[in-house]
Structure formats: C-alpha cells, structure tokens
Copies of this chain bind each other. A is one copy, B any other.
Amino acid sequence: MKKYQIVADKITDYIKEKGLVQGDKIPKIDALIKMYGVSKATILQALSLLAQKGVVYKVQGSGIFVRRPAISGYISLTSNRGFGEVIDNENTKVLKFEEIELPEKQQRLMKCDEKEACYHVIRLHFHEGKPIVLESSYFLKKYVPFLSKEIAKGSIFKFIKEGLNTEIRFSDKYMEIIKLNEEQAKVLQLEKNDPALEVNDVYYLAKGQIFNCSQLIYNYKNSKFFDQSPDELI
C-alpha cells in the first residue's frame, strides 16, 4: 500500500480516536512529519487526499482543521455507484437477468460501433424494507466476461473490482427530475406521476474503456442525497 494512503488512514484514525469535530485543529505539518516519519511531500499528498474527501481543510498560516463528517442516511451521488452505506446489498431483488446484444440507445451512450454482447440486469434495491431505487444496467461482456443472477443479488461493482480484479476509474452522470410512468410507479410502490430522480450513468475502467451504463430511478419518499464539495482543486 502507498505511504500517503497509509498516512491518510492514520490521520483519519487520529481524528476519530480524539473525537475531533468540525473546526477542531489537527497537528501541524512538521508534527505530522515526525509522527509518521515521512517527508513533507508525502504528508501533503495524504492531506490533499483527505481534503478531496471532505475530511479536512487547510488554512494557510493557521492550521489544518476537521471538516464535518458525512451524514448517515443520505445517499452520496458523487461517490461510486451512489450507494455506499445506505443501500444494503442484502436487500436487492433481481427483476431481470439476461444476456443480449447491446440495444441501440446504449450503443450510442457507450460509443460502441459494433454489435456487442452484454448482460442486462434490472434490479430493485431496498433499505429497511422500503424500495429505494430501480436500476437498469448494461455490462459489456468484452470487459465483464462473467456475471450471474446470483452475483447480481449482491454488489456487481464489488464483484467486478474484487472478483474480476478490474479497476473502475470514473463516471459521467446525467440527471433529471421526472414523473413516474405506471410501470415504474408500481415497482417502486408509488403512484403514477409521482416525482422521481432519474440518473443515467456511464462508467469507465482504468484505461478509459466504457464498460457499463445504467439508469437509476430513485423513490422520492425513501431517498435523500448529499454531496460534500471537495476542498481544494490542488
């Protein structure tokens, strides 16, 4: 593991152990250098990482301070896959699992020229027994050679990362607010024309290859979102 990653984790632990909250000061850079026995550049890299995650912010000439921790019960739109803590993968129902040729609409989205084999999965995610989000995902077999209904009951992304040892790198998201149609409403246990958030994702692998696109329809009653803007565009 990388040194700056280790240092970042240690600083995070330090904040937790000391019970520091928003506005509290952590040790100065020189002290951190001595505490962890690394160079200044490594400390700075670790702090940059934490600043991007929203854990700390630095004030020149003054110190390094703790930022508000993420709040539980909210779905993060910016972190990968949207649902980190909130969506319990034990509570996923697979509505459809099929191997098909990539439909035309998704072909354009994923910039595929030729006819591509893919997996198509429709799932409904629950939290505390309530339906949170209806998901329709396409995975290119070219990059995700194996998938099963069994796997789809858990976290597919986790399987891709850990099972297939494939790095997911970044994503583009397009969002709009919509009225539910009859079918969507039925699945989400809502009424037709009820409001919803539609998120269309395109996901990229380590070398920039598009391997997945998904449509997510969130239940307005059961989902709240948050986003901590990253500090620093170092």
Contacts and interface: CB of A to CB of B under 8 A. Distances in A.
Interface of A: 4, 22-23, 41, 45, 48-49, 52-54, 57, 59, 62, 65, 67-68, 74, 77-78, 80, 169-179, 194-197, 204, 206-208, 218, 220, 223-231, 233-234
22 contacts: A4-B234, A48-B48, A52-B230, A52-B233, A57-B170, A59-B207, A67-B170, A74-B174, A77-B227, A78-B229, A170-B229, A174-B224, A174-B225, A175-B225, A176-B225, A177-B218, A177-B223, A178-B220, A179-B194, A179-B220, A230-B230, A234-B234
A233 B49 contact: yes
A80 B229 contact: yes
A170 B208 contact: no
Contacts of A53: 233
Contacts of A74: 174
